[in-house]
Chains A and B, each alone.
Chain A
Amino acid sequence: MRIVLTHKSSEPIYEQIKEQIKASVLSGELPENELLPSIRQLARDLKVSVITTTRAYNDLEIEGFLQTVPGKGCYVKKIDSNLMRFKYVTETKEKLAAAVRLGKMAGLTMAEIRGLLDELEDE
């Protein structure tokens, strides 16, 4: 499992961990039933606090990505990746629609909005 953190972003660290594990699960890089490092081991490896990794794992468990087996560890849960992907695509569409509305209110053309998107990718 590869997680790369930045301390300079305004995105909280636990959120960064969460998003990256999610992405690995969705891409299949972390297969079903894969044993994840323990909360304490992960905190040590990433040099973050135990509370931070606890928070990330708890959220992932609530969202159905992980499963904790007491005394054994934390496993990647079987997820319906098609359903998940569908959910994300829908959410992306909704958010883009909102962004386009906002951009037009500010007098941007579609080309300019696309330009903004490209800039985001470069970041």
Chain B
Amino acid sequence: MQNAIEVKNLMKKYKGFSLDGVSFNVPSGYITGFIGQNGAGKTTTLKLMLNMVLKDGGDIEILGKSNDDISFKEDLGALFDQPYFQEDWTPADIEKALRPFYRKWDSEVYHSYLKKFSLDAGQKFKTFSRGMKMKLGMAAALSHDAKLLLLDEPTSGLDPVMRDEMLDILQDYLTQENKTVLFSTHVTGDLEKIADYIIYIHKGRIVYTGLKDELIEKYCLIRGRAGDLPREKRESVIGLREDTSSFEGMIEVANLGGFPSRVVTEPVNLDDIMIHINKEDYKNDC
């Protein structure tokens, strides 16, 4: 199976927000990052995949089956923002509650994760820190031999050390063949390093889907003195910011010709891309 997830022409209308013909694939065996600002439609898309919200139109296939057929959930590990477990439950209670739903639940694996994450099987859920709750959620998601992990903002609200551990957990999982991870985030620094593919959503529309490296190599930052921006090149600078003495912005590498050689260019990162595309958008709306 080439794609773990295929989404075609997905529609969902809310008051003041809509997903407008969202299409993308998530390739099997890789980490795909789902990026976009807060409110761009990331969580809505993920919830539509799991039928937690009903779609107005379009098709979603997960692990080769339509998502109307809920049997795919057996092979899925999902973690949304924060795991929701009964406050008074302990990790041992949580296992008792989850186990009946998964044929391939492996108690040994679950307890080895608890140990690895230093989680006490007898401690109540409500007394865990946010980072520990996330780890417990991961332990549960990884204990039934899931083929696909769907994670919504798994690193938000975690400190840098914990974020780093989270990435380790994901990469450990990926060392097995045919495992797929899709995770959404607006904190792109973490993702930058380990993601193979990127899906970039902006205001309910997909603006990029493909290899991360290609996205990053497509653009560069450009800076120069005010006189160094030729009039005919103005349009090609994305998110242009000018003052009396200088200008700066982002530009497609293919459009670099025509600038004086003293302008400075620098590689972009995912944050730069999101910031400049958003700035450009704001300018056009005014």
Enumerate chain A interface residues (CB-CB to B < 8 A).
7, 10, 12, 38, 40-41, 43-44, 47-52
Would A40 and B174 count as touching, CB distance under 8 A? yes
Stretch among B41-49, B64-72, B139-147, B192-200 lining the A interface: B192-200
Would B175 and A41 count as touching, CB distance under 8 A? yes
**Interchain CA distance A50-B179 in the complex, whole Å:** 12
B171 in the interface, Cβ–Cβ < 8 Å?
yes
B285 in the interface, Cβ–Cβ < 8 Å?
no
A47 with B171: in contact, given A10-B267, A52-B213 (CB under 8 Å)?
A: yes
**Interchain CA distance A37-B80 in the complex, whole Å:** 33
**Interchain CA distance A80-B211 in the complex, whole Å:** 36
B31 in the interface, Cβ–Cβ < 8 Å?
yes
30 CB contacts below 8 A, A to B, read A7-B193, A10-B267, A38-B175, A40-B176, A40-B177, A43-B174, A43-B194, A44-B168, A44-B171, A44-B174, A44-B175, A47-B167, A47-B193, A48-B194, A49-B30, A49-B31, A49-B193, A49-B194, A49-B212, A49-B213, A50-B29, A50-B30, A50-B31, A50-B174, A51-B30, A51-B196, A51-B197, A51-B211, A51-B212, A52-B213
Enumerate chain B interface residues (CB-CB to A < 8 A).
29-31, 167-168, 171-172, 174-177, 193-197, 211-213, 267
Chain A residues within 8 Å of B172, by CB:
44
**Interchain CA distance A99-B126 in the complex, whole Å:** 66
Residue of B nearest to A39 (CB): B175
Residue of B175, B213, B267 near A51 (CB, 8 A) is B213
Chain B residues within 8 Å of A7, by CB:
193
Would A49 and B175 count as touching, CB distance under 8 A? no
A48 with B193: in contact, given A10-B267, A40-B175, A41-B175 (CB under 8 Å)?
A: yes
Chain A residues within 8 Å of B174, by CB:
40, 43-44, 50
**Interchain CA distance A7-B213 in the complex, whole Å:** 13
- In the assembled complex, the CB of A88 is this many whole angstroms from the nearest CB of chain B, namely 27
Chain A residues within 8 Å of B168, by CB:
44, 47
